[in-house]
Amino acid sequence: MMSRNLLVYAVGGLLMGAAATLFESGKDYSAIPPQAREVETTLRGRPVDLAQAIQTAQELTGGVVASASFDLNKGGRTIDVIVFTDGAKRRLIFETTGCSVESDVMVPRFPGDSVQGDWIETDSGLKYFDIVEGDGPQPAGPSSKVTVHYTGWLVDGTKFDSSVDRGQPTTFTLGRVIGGWTEGVGSMCVGGKRKLIIPYDLAYGERGSRSIPPKATLIFDVELLEIIEE
């Protein structure tokens, strides 16, 4: 049953062949990992330690620190602190010479376009938010061919594929893609935009794929541009 829901490779490269996008943007992959003693020396040489950064973050925000870590890619010169406060998640970046805040940003629950309120959940377990309600026609069924723009992320915010980034929308038959797309896009109207939260059993299953980890929940922002009549 899963095989009929797997994405057809020929459909514009959707979800497949995108392994390179799993790499962190801007990270130096040419650097050899340092010796543990080098890291220890670097961290001991910082005038501000993690405990001080945590204390400062809690005093500034009144929240609870969930994690704090040195950015070793920057020689331990900054500390990344995640704080939960006032029902929101914040990320504070401290510089380690005086524990001053370099940046303080809100971290959304989901990547991509912001959403409000509660999601809609279907009987299959698919969840979605309607970002924009379309006012055009709705696909007739799995045999419908549609054109969409989309961006896909893993739950940690890693972007793995995007027709938007390529500047080229994708066209496919609804019945020849993963089940979460068949259902989620199939119930949209042209002109609509939706955030799909697709459980692994409606995506790439327990084994994953070349660019998707096993049992991965996938998050997409999808805009339905056109239904192609044949």
Q: Is 142 a residue whose pLDDT tops 90? A: yes
State mean pLDDT over 157-185.
95
Higher pLDDT, 2 or 117: 117
pLDDT at 23 over 70: no
Dihedral Cα 131, 197, 112, 25, nearest 10 deg: -170
> What would the pLDDT profile of 167-180 be if each residue is shown by its tens digit?
999 999 999 999 99
Say what the pLDDT of residue 26 is.
52
| 193: exposed, middle or buried (Cβ count in 10 Å: 0-12, 13-18, 19+) | buried
The catalytic site residues sit at 150, 160-161, 178, 204, 220
Calculate mean pLDDT across residues 103-120: 92
Closest by CA position to 181, among listed 161, 193, 198: 198
The total of other beta-carbon atoms located within 10 Å of residue 200's CB is: 19
Tens-digit pLDDT profile for residues 191-223:
999 999 999 999 999 998 888 999 999 999 999
Tens of pLDDT, residues 59-100: 999 999 999 998 887 778 899 999 999 989 999 999 988 888
More confident position, 55 or 23: 55
